[in-house]
Amino acid sequence: MNLTHPFRDPDGDKLREECGVFGVIGAREAVNIAALGLHALQHRGQEAVGISTYDGREFYSRRGLGHVAQVFSEKDLGETLPGEMASGHVRYSTTGGSGLRNVQPLFADLSTGGFSIAHNGNISNAASLRRELVRRGAIFQSTSDTEVIIHLVATSRYPTLLDRFVDALRMVEGAYSLICMTDQGMIACRDPLGIRPLVMGRLGDATVFASETVALDVVGAEFVRSIEPGELVQVDHKGTVSSHRPFGNISPRPCIFEHVYFSRPDSVMDGRSVYSVRKQIGVELAKESGVDADIVIPVPDSGVPAAIGYAQESGIPFELGIIRSHYVGRTFITPSEGARHAGVKRKHNANRAIVEGKRIILIDDSIVRGTTSMKIVDMMRDAGAAEVHMRIASPPTGHSCFYGVDTPERSKLLAANMDTAAMGAFIKADSLAFVTIDGLYRAVGAAGRNNACPQFCDACFTGEYPTSLTDLADRETPDLLTLPVNKVA
Amino acid sequence: MNLTHPFRDPDGDKLREECGVFGVIGAREAVNIAALGLHALQHRGQEAVGISTYDGREFYSRRGLGHVAQVFSEKDLGETLPGEMASGHVRYSTTGGSGLRNVQPLFADLSTGGFSIAHNGNISNAASLRRELVRRGAIFQSTSDTEVIIHLVATSRYPTLLDRFVDALRMVEGAYSLICMTDQGMIACRDPLGIRPLVMGRLGDATVFASETVALDVVGAEFVRSIEPGELVQVDHKGTVSSHRPFGNISPRPCIFEHVYFSRPDSVMDGRSVYSVRKQIGVELAKESGVDADIVIPVPDSGVPAAIGYAQESGIPFELGIIRSHYVGRTFITPSEGARHAGVKRKHNANRAIVEGKRIILIDDSIVRGTTSMKIVDMMRDAGAAEVHMRIASPPTGHSCFYGVDTPERSKLLAANMDTAAMGAFIKADSLAFVTIDGLYRAVGAAGRNNACPQFCDACFTGEYPTSLTDLADRETPDLLTLPVNKVA
Amino acid sequence: MNLTHPFRDPDGDKLREECGVFGVIGAREAVNIAALGLHALQHRGQEAVGISTYDGREFYSRRGLGHVAQVFSEKDLGETLPGEMASGHVRYSTTGGSGLRNVQPLFADLSTGGFSIAHNGNISNAASLRRELVRRGAIFQSTSDTEVIIHLVATSRYPTLLDRFVDALRMVEGAYSLICMTDQGMIACRDPLGIRPLVMGRLGDATVFASETVALDVVGAEFVRSIEPGELVQVDHKGTVSSHRPFGNISPRPCIFEHVYFSRPDSVMDGRSVYSVRKQIGVELAKESGVDADIVIPVPDSGVPAAIGYAQESGIPFELGIIRSHYVGRTFITPSEGARHAGVKRKHNANRAIVEGKRIILIDDSIVRGTTSMKIVDMMRDAGAAEVHMRIASPPTGHSCFYGVDTPERSKLLAANMDTAAMGAFIKADSLAFVTIDGLYRAVGAAGRNNACPQFCDACFTGEYPTSLTDLADRETPDLLTLPVNKVA
Amino acid sequence: MNLTHPFRDPDGDKLREECGVFGVIGAREAVNIAALGLHALQHRGQEAVGISTYDGREFYSRRGLGHVAQVFSEKDLGETLPGEMASGHVRYSTTGGSGLRNVQPLFADLSTGGFSIAHNGNISNAASLRRELVRRGAIFQSTSDTEVIIHLVATSRYPTLLDRFVDALRMVEGAYSLICMTDQGMIACRDPLGIRPLVMGRLGDATVFASETVALDVVGAEFVRSIEPGELVQVDHKGTVSSHRPFGNISPRPCIFEHVYFSRPDSVMDGRSVYSVRKQIGVELAKESGVDADIVIPVPDSGVPAAIGYAQESGIPFELGIIRSHYVGRTFITPSEGARHAGVKRKHNANRAIVEGKRIILIDDSIVRGTTSMKIVDMMRDAGAAEVHMRIASPPTGHSCFYGVDTPERSKLLAANMDTAAMGAFIKADSLAFVTIDGLYRAVGAAGRNNACPQFCDACFTGEYPTSLTDLADRETPDLLTLPVNKVA
């Protein structure tokens, strides 16, 4: 009998993308396009959203907690957020904690004029840079790693904003796809490794930037190209686009997990359909670890494409053996750690009539802590499944991400603590298999992983981090989250 | 280029179930169970929700606009809504208009004590009954048809609450699944034709009632049985269950559209898995109107089971050619008529990589106004589809419902205005076919429709209404919605 | 050292008027006039406010908790509450408890059309009438005594609204000044004894009704006359005024406490300036119980006029020895019993520079529980007063009011428990004196109290209630406040 | 007939003090004391309020729009704002505009630790200092002049916080009474001229600072002494108090208008009772410009003490000829310019019964624009006054204040545009007189104004500003209010 609170038990057992960014310049009522674009990126961050605009004279902004459609709900957005240039941000609370002051875009009045910044990624030396900036007299408004970039720009000795901006970026390490606004126009850039995605599109005379192509589709823009790793693109108010490459040539390492889970299936990432890659992972899984069974069941919704691929490759029928409620976001509601447990059933319910008496293959995208998988296996058995075989559309996740994905500390990752056999026993499946790292690389179109020079950032699977991790190494440097700041009550 | 507001253009081109009801008696912190149960029924009504409880001494209630998880969000629900008996309601605004005063459960202090009522369905002689009650001195609090039942109970000459209640029900026509609470316990009942569903379950020592079995699953209750058409079940505080049959024997006519669209696929309705019925409709469709094509694409999410059935029967691969955003409810947001148009794309986006160059079969559950279908066909062509064949998992919807489903007036129903060929031309599909009425009956397990004595209410397809429609016939009787009431500003 | 909460300790040691009413018919944007008029009556009720309007077709209403200026704050009131007829109400929570559903005007759809009612006073047989109405099938929306009148009107057998209304009033006992609206126009009436005040004014072509003349002044209306005790005045939409006297001749007994405390000093009550009466009470006090002292200090603000009168009569200088904060309402904030204690100082602070070393005469309007008086005497001594003589501008309040004034139960009234000497000792004054009942009658212009047939209702001083007190006598009849109603959580 | 909105027409024709500050260190649940103290200072700023606390480990803060009792209304303040040190601020919107980010205390994380600041006054070279700070890389969070001080502290080259703070203060010009908090304790200081007040008190073991003595009274603290002009007082967590005098000897020039209007009458300012000074101004007025009349009427409430003094000196009776509603703050509601006009009557109503047929002397504290005076004279005549003689308890206000008082620009000050005779004609009084500047100095205890070296800042009357006005002089320096900042929508 249920005596616990009905809505206080979400079990957020997923890795979470922390942010999405969107920008548009050269469009009437740019705010409306930005809101629609951010709505299409809502899966990248559901805790908070902000939009800044510029109308040729002044900057305007609104930032709020909640979904895009809640914070930007009124009819006449264009009156309160006027202008033909707008940029926005959706976020989770990774670095910096919850709270309105960390919601982006951040804004500052610099001596060069107003400056707004929206950031997808994570600066891995933010705490040590901040310590030095404060020593020199900087006053921080937020606990966000992104604010470090603004202060570096503000205190740079270079005369122009663009030079100052590049000067600042040379000092930061980590992952960043940025959309900035000045009174001169918009700047979009991507870190030298291109860890986080960023694409450019065209909407009539306007230029659009977004984390994923789906946002271009939804606002009606055409895809132009990806911003290259290490590239900085400037667009002025006349629509002139110029490209800069301040970092020289570095082999890119885009995040492979974007393909596995973060991105929307209807996005095209680095030239490949996310949906097709996920189906192909299912195909690889079926080849690598086939099993005799009656039906293939996806864990909705992220497991669906891989399950379709698995079913087509194996010839075993695809069935909706788990029904997902439409009335919750992914697998969780709130950003607080305490609220992640239990509650699986109000999101996922067994379709008993289908499952009963069947040998089933369950397809999920990943295993993080393993608690959700355990509950779903259990739910399938309760519904009468004869056998439950779990297949996972990514390799074991054994390492934390420091590039903008909300991962538990390593000790809480199931794959950091046990091998696949033990994991299978832990979740009580009849069998468990993960796609291999090479299978995953094949699914994204490579011949396999180039271990000498990996084509992607796959640190969460392999532990091979493509940048140094300054803050982590420096035991003297406090975590941003524990800085002695003012608590807003 | 988009100059319209990004979130003001939903296109609610679906029939909408108006209500779900849930009740539990004999459980500690009953409100928590009720909130969870209503959450599982959220698809039946997303505009407003209410829960009433009784703690042995007093009745408590909270009613609010929004989703269950919004209105009942706090930790300590059990303190503000105490007691071991609770009933609740989720709703759209059909009869009675929007506004908090129409949110159920309704409550009244009768001479027999407190009386709370939650109603799924619609009383088709409510306006004429109301006119007479007001003439005799009754004062209405709401514009809800349900309040008519309360006043009939209040003014009945019978001495006991149960007799008064039956006396009242004998006067009403239409569809009603009711969950009532008195200080003696809970009463659940279903109209003589059983138009709306109602099931009973068991959760430890507690008795549970719900519109669908999925709510039993989610709260962890076992399914006991359906409440029979015309049956009235009483449960007292000791858990004693008694059944009454005040209406004699009438052939039941449950709503067939519950199978096609309203109910959740993981519910079991009158002994049949809703998911399996929908898959079977897809099978019937494939048999009745097969077409040569490359892929089968569901219009998500309601078209998915039929599409799986169609794909399995036809051997044509099932693919997710349309991706649905998780951040909107079914196909609309707000209950106002004006807000239903446009906005298809922010809910549904073409998965271009899959669709491009293909001959596709689109499977949807129904066509109401046809505007959404037209936009989706258009979106598929924009994404490069070579041919678009639309198959619909229900017969043409040519008649309005007066039993608790929000349908446009008949003149706005596409099928009331043109034949299938014209409809196909209207939505610009290469071909269009609907499952036949006999195909639909076969999918739900009959040999076909018994035209002499139809097994279901299928008035929306056939125009054969199983009750008289008093209010509709009586030109003197004003619509409840146009009663000269007090506007709350 | 202060460890208690700074704003949770108001000490509401005053009698409180429960209501003010205002109506206007025949004016453009009547709601604006009503809001302004109610603002001028805010001292009569600070917990909640409501306004209803009628625009020739429909009734509109808004009711809210808080002050007039909070609930009716927006620019375009005339759009949401349109029409040339408006009536409104400010209230405390006497009969019926707090909660929005008890906020007036109440509204009902009767068979004769819409009916709105605003009531100042209290029906002393409401509970027994309600019991009978519920027995006959009436369903109450509120726990307000006023709703009884509506149900009596609704169920009356007379054909016209006016006859039904008079029929209803014949059944009720107690105090009522009513402003009602129907689609025919406005009805204002005063109970046969005229216990509560009601005046009529003229604003251009419009007719205005209000509890006090100050509301006429503030909206710019001219005073026409008082509504007579037992008079019922009808005004139709053409402005035709007709007067009715359904109750025959009864000697009036208006409330004398309106002069002492409730009414605003700039009102004229039954032909006498409230300010002048209060000054005159001070004069009587100085004559009856003069004392040698250095300065006369009012307890602000209600004691100011009497203190001016006392000072002028006695020749002792008037000084502001107590300063009152502008940032609290009278002597309390919230309507809950628990919140009435302590906190005197944040409302009243000693003006130490004036008080120190002086023999002072403190003038207050009344003593209810005595707790405030005790604290103020104490505060004066802390500030260095050499002697503290308390003079009270009303006789000892030894009886509860059942006519619409919020009085504690009798056992908590200080004067019900001890004589003047003991009261003086309790509040620790060097001397204490009250004006005599005859002194009070002289101040309002009589030769003295006519004990055979008192000119006023002075039951709070004398215990002589001018009506029967049915509910009080009937031990079977529950208090309205304890009715088994639905708790809104 | 009234067709304008009832609550949108306040006529803020008064000078407004912009701020009050309060601090306490060494007391349990310091926040409760701070909230109560700020409530006692509410008359100094009604738009917004903030409190910061420190619990030995972290700083906490809450800032909000509205009154103290609204923003700090909950029971358990001590839980969300813990600690034994608290400081707070009430404000109007002078420099910096409205908006939450300008609400104080401001907070910054400096390299020396957390630093919080609350400021009463105005920095008259803030804009030029800000321009230079931004040039050097400072990023401002607010448009408040106070934030300049924080950045000067942050970028000072001195090693200790105290040295940095003094270094910063040496750079600023203007008026400042400051209460700062660091992890070492509290710092209170007053600018070298002592323009704004600041007092110190003792509450058990705790030390208290406040703008006025009334706040000490209300929290139950004893007055210890005023902070001297140019003095900086430090209190550590053990309660050790140390005094510093970093600015050398300068003749003080405290604001004389604090006596005339800003301070509460029960405060003692620089050793003199504010109430007694105001009465004495009335006495001086009666001597300087007596007139034959029937009654003396104060414009409530600020004119009351001077009217009592005038009445006592002249022998003409003091009467409440104008009644003030309790339900508005001073003479206005909202901080926006547009909302200041009209609406006099809903705040002040003529007490017609007293005024009619009388020759009256009206006593008010000051004339700013003259619009209110004109309306009040008009209201008195409407009420039947035979003659209206206006006497003003301050000299003509002909100059703007740049030290923290919200004055209209000079061109809108009536006294900057006409002489007394013309002003009398403008407001339509039978006669008008102001107290002379020497009369005012006599009332505050001097023999008269020392023109060579004035004892007070009386710039608003004389135009003699005691500091240079850098921002005003520098045409290159933009007003803080027009800085190109981010508009929060």
Could you give the percent of chain D with pLDDT greater than 70? 89
With touching defined as 3 or more inter-chain CB pairs under 8 Å, the answer for chains B and A is yes
For A231-248, what is each residue's pLDDT tens digit?
Answer: 999 999 999 999 999 998
CA A87 to chain CA mean position, Å? 18
d(CA D323, CA A302): 70
Closest-CA distance of chain C to residue D323, Å = 6
Residue B297 tokens, joined: 């694409």
Provide the annotated active-site residues of C: 19
Chain A residues with CB inside 8 Å of B46's CB? 327
B320 touches chain C (CB under 8 A): no
Per the model's pLDDT, the better-predicted residue between C187 and A15 turns out to be C187
Q: Is the pLDDT of residue C485 over 60?
A: no
- In the sheet with A174-182, reading across from the earlier edge strand, the strands are A106-110, A113-123, A174-182, A185-190, A232-236, A241-244
Q: Any idea how long chain B is?
A: 489
SS3 C176: strand
Rounded distance, CA A380 to CA A391, Å? Answer: 14
Residue A365 marked as a ligand binder: yes
**Which of C3, C4, C5 best probes binding to D when mutated, by most D CB atoms within 10 angstroms?**
C5
Residues of B in contact with C151 (CB under 8 A): 137, 139
Distance from CA of D28 to the nearest CA of C (A): 7
Binding residues of C for [4Fe-4S] cluster: 255, 401, 457, 460
Provide the chain D residues 48-107 that lie in CB contact (below 8 A) with chain A. 52, 57-62, 80-81, 107
Pick the most confident of A405-414, C60-69, D311-320.
D311-320
- What is the pLDDT at residue B80? 92
Rounded CA-CA distance A483/C132 in Å is 68
D203/C345 Cβ within 8 A:
no
Per-residue pLDDT at C153 exceeds 90: yes
CB contact under 8 A, C320 and D305: yes
User: What pLDDT does B476 receive?
Assistant: 52
CA triple C326-C328-C330, angle to 5 deg = 100
The confidence band for B94, taking pLDDT boundaries of 50, 70 and 90, is very low
Judge contact between D460 and D400, C-beta under 8 A.
yes
C–D touching, 3+ CB–CB pairs within 8 Å: yes
What per-residue confidence (pLDDT) applies to A101?
A: 78
Q: Of A370, A390, A392, whose CA–CA distance to A381 is shortest?
A: A390
Residue contact A59–D485, C-beta within 8 A:
yes
Say whether A255 counts as a known binding-site residue.
Answer: yes
What average pLDDT score do residues B311-320 get? 97
B199-203 and B206-210 as β-strands: parallel, antiparallel, unpaired?
antiparallel
DSSP string, B101-143: GGPSSEEEEETTEEEEEEEEEEETTHHHHHHHHHHTT---S-S
How much is the pLDDT for B326? 76
For residue C423, what are the contacts with CB-CB under 8 A and spacing of at least 6?
Answer: C367, C370, C396, C414, C415, C432
How many other C-beta atoms lie within 10 A of the C-beta of residue C312?
Answer: 18
Percent of chain A with pLDDT over 70: 89
Tokens of A241: 């686009």
Output the pLDDT for position B8: 45
State pLDDT tens for residues C409-461: 899 999 999 999 999 999 999 999 999 999 999 999 999 999 999 999 999 99
How distant is the Cα of C119 from the closest Cα of chain B, in angstroms? 18
Place of tokens 């559209």: B257
**pTM summary value:** 0.85
- Neighbouring chains of C at 3+ CB pairs under 8 Å are B, D
In Å, how far are B66, B404, C363, D417 from B50, measured between CA atoms?
10, 18, 53, 64
CB nearest to A113's CB, from D57, D484, D488: D484
**How far from D6 is each of B461, C32, C63, CA to CA, in Å?**
56, 6, 17
Closest to A165 measured CA to CA, from A174, A178, A173: A178
Please give the pLDDT value at position A270. Answer: 86
| C 366-425 → D contacts, CB under 8 A | none
DSSP string, A158-218: -SSHHHHHHHHHHH--EEEEEEEEETTEEEEEE-TT--S--EEEEETTEEEEESSHHHHHH
The Cα of B33 is separated from the nearest Cα of chain A by a number of Å equal to 7
pLDDT digit string, tens, across residues D70-114: 899 887 889 999 999 999 999 976 444 556 778 899 999 999 999
Judged on CB neighbours under 10 Å (0-12, 13-18, 19+), B224 is middle
CA-nearest residue of chain D to C268? D353
At residue D72's C-alpha, the angle toward residues D69 and D77, to 5°, is: 140
Residues of chain D with Cβ-Cβ distance to A59 below 8 Å are 484-487
Q: What is the mean pLDDT of residues C342-353?
A: 77
For C9, the closest chain D residue by CA position comes to: D75
Question: What token pair was written down for D54?
Answer: 């420190």
User: Quick one: pLDDT at residue B70?
Assistant: 86
Q: State the CB neighbour count (10 A cutoff) for residue A489.
A: 16
Q: Please report residues of A whose CB lies closer than 8 A to that of B329.
A: 326-327
Average pLDDT, chain C: 89
Classify residue A478 by its DSSP letter.
P
Structure tokens at B451: 């035209």
> To the nearest 10°, the Cα dihedral for C300, C305, C311, C314?
-130
Residue B173 and residue A25: Cα distance in Å, rounded? 60
Among B226-235, B323-332, C198-207, the range scoring the smallest mean pLDDT is: B323-332
What does the pLDDT average to over D388-406? 94
Distance from CA of C97 to the nearest CA of B (A): 16
Nearest to A373 by CA among A437, A435, A326, A423: A423
In chain A, residues with a C-beta closer than 8 Å to the C-beta of B7 are 35-36, 39, 68-69, 72-73
In terms of C-beta density within 10 A (0-12 exposed, 13-18 middle, 19 or more buried), how is residue D309 classed? buried
**What does the block give as tokens for D406?**
């919200």
E strand residue ranges, D26-98: 48-54, 59-65, 85-91
Active site residue B189: no
The structure tokens listed for D202 are 């003792």
> What CA–CA distance (Å, rounded) separates A435 from A391?
8
Q: C365-402 pLDDT, tens per residue?
A: 999 999 999 999 999 999 999 999 999 999 999 999 99
Where is pLDDT greater, at B11 or B34?
Answer: B34
Extract the tokens encoding B77. 């629900």
Chain A environment of B320 (Cβ under 8 Å): 265, 275, 304-305, 308
Cα–Cα dist B303/C312, whole Å: 89
* CA-angle at B66, arms to B62 and B69, nearest 5°: 75
CA gap B228, D204 in Å, rounded: 75
Q: pLDDT tens across A314-353, in order?
A: 999 999 999 988 776 333 223 222 223 335 567 889 999 9
Q: What confidence category does residue D481 fall into, taking pLDDT thresholds of 50, 70 and 90?
A: very low
Interchain contact, A139 vs D134, CB within 8 Å: no
Q: Kindly report, residue by residue over A367-409, the tens digit of the pLDDT.
A: 999 999 999 999 999 999 999 999 999 999 999 999 988 888 8
Interface test with B, best of A203, A274, A327 (most B CBs within 10 A): A327
Closest CA to A128 of A468, A463, A488: A468
Chain A closest CA to D81's CA: distance in Å?
7
Element (H, E) at D20: strand D19-25
> Average per-residue pLDDT in chain B?
89
Contact C150 B139 (CB under 8 A): yes
Nearest CA in chain A to B320: A305
pLDDT of residue A5: 56
Chain A neighbors of B3, CB-CB under 8 A: 28-29, 32
Return all residues near B335 (Cβ < 8 A) that are at least 6 apart: B47, B92, B93, B98
Q: Is the dihedral of CA A3, A4, A5, A7 positive or negative?
A: negative
How many Å is the maximal CA-CA distance in chain B?
A: 73
Are D333 and D7 in contact by the 8 Å Cβ rule? The answer is yes
pLDDT digits (tens, 9 = 90+) for D338-382: 223 335 567 889 999 999 999 999 999 999 999 999 999 999 999
Q: What is the pLDDT of residues A91-113, one digit of tens each?
A: 976 444 556 778 899 999 999 99
How does residue D328 score in pLDDT terms, banded at 50, 70 and 90?
low
Contact assignment for D7 to C353 by CB distance below 8 Å: no
b/e map of A91-112 (b: 16 or more CB within 10 Å)?
Answer: bbbbbbbbbebbbbbbbbbbeb
CA angle C128, C133, C138 (to 5 degrees): 145
* Chain C residues whose beta carbon lies within 8 Å of the beta carbon of residue B49: none
Using only the alpha carbons of chain A, give its radius of gyration: 23
Binding residues of D for Mg(2+): 302, 364-365
| Chain D, nearest residue to A132 by Cα | D111
Contact B333, A69 (CB under 8 A): yes
pLDDT at residue D231 in the model:
97
Q: List phi, psi (to 5°) of A135.
A: -55, -35
Token duo for residue D407 = 């004055």
User: What is the band of B42 on the pLDDT scale with cuts at 50, 70, 90?
Assistant: very high
Give burial (CB, 10 Å; 0-12/13-18/19+) of D171.
middle
Alpha carbon distance A15, B29 (integer Å): 34
Query: In whole numbers, what is the pLDDT of chain A averaged over residues?
Result: 89
Residue D332: predicted pLDDT: 26
Q: Which residues contact D426 (CB under 8 A, 6 or more apart)?
A: D370, D374, D414, D418
Which bin fits D256, alpha (ψ -120 to 50), beta or left (φ > 0)? alpha
The pLDDT score that the predictor gives to residue C7 is 59
